[in-house]
Amino acid sequence: MKAHRIKINSWTSSFRYPNLISGFQPTLEVAPVSTVMGLINAASGKYLENQQVELGYYFDFKIKTVDLETIYQIKANDKNYPDNVVKSNVIKRQFLYDCQLFLYLTDEALVSCFHKPAYQLLLGRSGDLAGVENIKEVELYEVNDARFAGQVIPFNGNYLPGQIQALPKYFSNSIPRKNMGTEPYSVISYNNPVNSQITGFRSELEEFDSDIYFHKFEV
């Protein structure tokens, strides 16, 4: 199968746990599918609606550590409007340093968007700026009993070990945003590979040791 591999780098990344709002903020060790879809939307400059998307990716980093962050808390009044009083607080937040994402796409129209992205690319939060290092065409070979690392893979039907998290595939184009396609995923870090009995795709002479799982869905 022919695909295009887009290598994306960032100094920092942070992927928060969906259900943790206050207190210590840990990070997932792999970018969720929704984050990758956000990259594609940002590069294309528009919200992808009524479109079938097929993508695979691998993510790794050099260091996971903790930083202090100032946040500002605004309390809502009885009418559910924000008060004028703002309170600052300091929390601990995990983040990943020296990150790289290898994104595989089969749709050439989407690939072309990464040559000149319409909006800034983010690998996590608004400060986690990312850039495209290179784009190249690759040949992927289908393999059984694939070995996966640095990815999230749907848990239902695959039942792979790893950290199990309920994650959305996508977010709506409405305000406030709504989670779409939430389901359990096995979060498999790059440094904890998993052998499986499911189908993956392999690229020869790659920079990392993992097969690629392709996500297929409609947005």
Q: Say which CATH number the domain at 70 has.
A: 3.30.70
3-state SS, the chain, equals CEEEEEEEEEEEECCECCCCCCCCECECCCCCHHHHHHHHHHHHCCCCCCCEEEEEEEEECCEEEEEEEEEEEEEECCCCCEEEEEEEEEEEEEEEEEEEEEEEECCHHHHHHCCCCCCCEECCCCCCEEEEEEEEEEEEEEECCCEECCEEEECCCCCCCCEEEEECCEECCCCCCCEECCEEEEEECCCCCEECCCCEEEECCCCCCCCECEEEEEC
This prediction's pTM: 0.92
By residue range, what is the domain housing residue 195?
2-218
pLDDT of residue 82: 76
Q: What is the pLDDT of residues 101-144, one digit of tens each?
A: 999 999 999 999 999 999 999 999 999 999 999 999 999 999 99
pLDDT beneath 70: ranges in the chain: 21-22
* Tally of structural domains, the chain: 1
